[in-house]
Chain A
Amino acid sequence: MRAFLTILGTQLRRDRWVLSFWIAGIAVFGLAVAAAIAGQFADEADRAAIVAISVANPAIVFARGLPDGSSLGGVAFFTGFAFTAVLAGLMSTFLVVRHSRADEETGRAELLGATPIARSTTLAATIVLGALANLVLVALLAAAYVAGGLPLEGSLTAALAVGGVGLVFVSVAAVVAQAMPSGRGANGASSALVVGAYLLRGIGDALGTPSDDLMRVTPSAISWLSPIGWGQATRPYTEPTLLPLLLSLAAFVVLSGWAIALRSSRDLGSSLVPERTGRATARLGGRSVVGLAWRLQRATLLGWLAGSVVLGGLAGGLAPVIAEAVADNASLSALIARLTPGGSGDTTEVFIAALLGIGGILAGAAGVQAVLRLRAEEAEGRAELLLATPVSRVAWVGATSLVAAASVIIVTLAMGLATGAALFRSGGAADDVLTYAGAGLAHAPAALVFVAVTALIFAVAPRVTIALGWGLLVIGFVLGQFGELLQVPEWLQAVSPFFHTSAAPVVELDVVAVFVLLGVSAAGVAVALVALRRRDLTT
């Protein structure tokens, strides 16, 4: 027990800044949303209108959350919960992988493994740390909601729902960390599961049944497959119940137990992915810096590609189904007709445009991750080996930026094509495939700006590249999704590259914006290449 507490203390100490940052960030976001709703929609009628519009628009339901009544809390929960839950899931995931697989990979775990503690003690401590982090998050978040003007009981339930999602992903990541061979792989797979949970409940909610008064949606059974769906089912501000969280708790207990059992019976450093032997000599492609950059990014890119194809397939596949459901619902159709007098608001197109927007973020993430490889290569000492050959820094970073840009284009294009293809399958026109490929691609320029900015950070402040690279992408996402609601001044919203992306095909493509974004990206990479020649290699 002493050893356990010592290890827990060490892990806590190591994480004190990262965790404070995550928890405070999530709580501030919660406070901002609650306060914004209370401030802007103080009038019940306004809230009822916005809820009705959302219920009528499955794209909003998919991307945002489950509408549940027009009370202040109900609207705040609908607006912010799913995203907050994703943040809690990511916080938990990264926490667990940092202390388990990543440490095993670097050999740190071996030092601890030689001390007289049980094999699974470190993992158990990490799981407890994860649970504690989520507990603190629940407390702070509940306080934030109350401070934002929401009722106490609902706020507590809502915060617990967020904590429940975090708790589930503590245990999910603990299992994934046993299975994957590298920290990067474990982080990738568990974050994909977090995003998967978000999408699953998105599908379930979008396919749900709107109530007659258009004040709420009853999710379809699919939402019950997602831990985020369980959180939504607590309905904090209408009929609060903690029963669905029993599912979260059960999942946490079972998965944690499984992870600990796996760890106790597994060799240190081994994974479920068997190590096979490979080629004795390199292919032609494996003999250049571009080849290396591509090789390092290949597996990750495949993951992003799969994600974007699934999302595109969903967009194209679900849109007609949803449009039909909306058409069948007389009160919904009437509302939509009233809202969009010109009639340009085709439900199908709006739904797809919203999902393609999420695809733009995915593409940005794929590109940013490709650039972040540079930092890993440098910090782990491989850049030293590479740069002692006649490869210039410019060639090294240039090659990686090229692969990052290719990743962005591949992901956006694949998403657009998948959308068009899915639409075509369900009876759309053949033209759609091209139209939507273009609509997907329209998100590439903004995503490329993130690639350039990350390269620039790497060139001038290598030690903070990873935190800032991801952080800026999240900020871009928040500004895009919540900027309006949070009444962020327009000039500040305009800082985010995604602000300048045209939501094709609903909106005409803004060609000037495309060229400006491309120009900014190119300039950013160029400055990065110059700046990089001026600094020391830093581990």
Chain B
Amino acid sequence: MSPTPLIETSALTKRFGRATALDGLDLSVSDGEVHGFLGPNGAGKSTTIRVLLGLIRRTSGSAHVFGLDPWTDAQMIHRDLAYVPGDVSLWPGLTGGEAIDLLTSLRGGADPQRRAELIEAFELDPRKKARTYSKGNRQKVALIAAFARPARLYIFDEPSSGLDPVMESVFRQQVLRARAEGATVLLSSHVLSEVEQLCDRVTIIRDGVVVESGSLDELRHLSRTSFRVAGIADVDAVRSITGVHDVHAVGGSVEFEVDSDAIPAVLAAVAQQRATAVTAAPASLESLFLRHYSVTR
């Protein structure tokens, strides 16, 4: 991993009137990585992205993209950047093909061959007026426009919302191709399988602050292990160990989750209680995220 971050924010805050959307956000995206950007609804993902694009102005803190200030040097940054918003709104009277050409021309022009390949891969009819496109097809127009001209940095805000599973896999291939070509990707997403497949590192934010950041393996390590144990007489012996959560009975067994540093104590207790069957599994990514998402605010 290269040491110079392509995107870096520190203590970034953004207030809308009295509402605080970003509250001291530290984000760092290195050159060449696909970086997952996650968090519950209203966490501030889109707001961060808009600040990084220079569409809105930060209230305080610092933000840099390519080492430049996104507010003052927006145009310079946009030369090497492609962006796809979560809710694509197109010009109703323009066809999809015209919208693609407009957006790529403004960035310096598309590679015609790649444009044709993408239209084929995404199965888009470029002659239809944008007014008549479905949500997924509008999304495709913006994705094709983004990929049709290679960029150094791609910023995607929930890019696959509305795409069918086949198109979602086309999107994933394109992201992998962009990374293979050396591009950097910031990907905000709610689709965990997408994040798991594509991202080298992730940042999870909530209420405008980062709550977790690192590679997926590191995060998994920090997370809990699920146990399912049969045949223990005294459940409270397990329940009373600090680091054990969510204890509940299922059929004749007990299920619970364990923080990684409590595992030795739990194993000892389980052995002492003469368990007849034990299954342990690493926490799914899903449970990891659920934990970060659903903590009461």
Contacts and interface: CB of A to CB of B under 8 A. Distances in A.
Contacts of A511: none
A334 interface: no
Contact of B93 (A299, A388, A536): A299
Contacts of A279: 95, 97-98, 127
B106 A289 contact: yes
Contacts of A292: 91, 102
B89 A281 contact: no
Contacts of B155: 388
Contact of A388 (B83, B87, B90, B126): B83
B235 to A, nearest CB: 48
B203 to A, nearest CB: 21
A281 B116 CA distance: 11
Contacts of B125: 277
Interface stretch (A63-71, A389-397, A468-476): A389-397
Interface stretch (A77-85, A257-265, A379-387, A436-444): A379-387
A281 B128 contact: no
B17 to A, nearest CB: 11
B132 A275 contact: yes
B92 A390 contact: no
Contacts of A288: 105-106
Contacts of A281: 97-98, 101, 126
Q: Is the interface of A mostly helix, strand, loop or mixed?
A: loop
A385 B142 contact: yes
Nearest to A392: B75
A285 to B, nearest CB: 10
A282 B87 CA distance: 23
A381 B89 contact: yes
A287 interface: yes
A380 B101 CA distance: 20
B50 A389 contact: no
Size bracket, chain A contacts: 35 or more
Contact of B102 (A276, A286, A381): A286
B114 interface: no
A327 interface: no
B25 to A, nearest CB: 17
B89 A382 contact: yes
A389 B103 contact: yes
A133 to B, nearest CB: 29
Nearest to B90: A382
A182 interface: yes
Nearest to B155: A388
B97 A282 contact: yes
B180 to A, nearest CB: 24
A277 B128 contact: yes
B77 to A, nearest CB: 9
A512 interface: no
A342 interface: no
A386 B101 contact: no
A295 B93 contact: yes
A287 B107 contact: no
B98 A392 contact: no
A390 B55 contact: no
A433 to B, nearest CB: 35
Interface in A385-417: 385-392
A278 B131 contact: no
Nearest to B103: A389
B75 to A, nearest CB: 5
A537 B127 contact: no
B79 interface: yes
Interface in A29-81: none
Contacts of A467: none
Contacts of A390: 75-76, 78-79, 106-108
Lowest 9 A-B CB distances belong to which pairs? A282-B101, A287-B105, A381-B89, A536-B56, A388-B83, A389-B106, A278-B95, A277-B127, A280-B97
Interface of A: 181-182, 275-282, 286-289, 291-292, 295-296, 299, 380-382, 384-392, 534-537
Given A380-B89, A382-B90, 10 more contacts: A275-B131, A278-B97, A280-B127, A286-B101, A287-B102, A388-B53, A388-B83, A390-B78, A392-B75, A536-B56
28 contacts: A181-B92, A181-B131, A277-B125, A278-B95, A278-B97, A278-B98, A278-B127, A279-B98, A280-B95, A280-B127, A281-B101, A282-B100, A282-B105, A287-B101, A288-B106, A292-B102, A295-B91, A381-B85, A382-B89, A384-B55, A385-B85, A385-B89, A388-B78, A388-B83, A389-B78, A389-B106, A390-B79, A535-B57
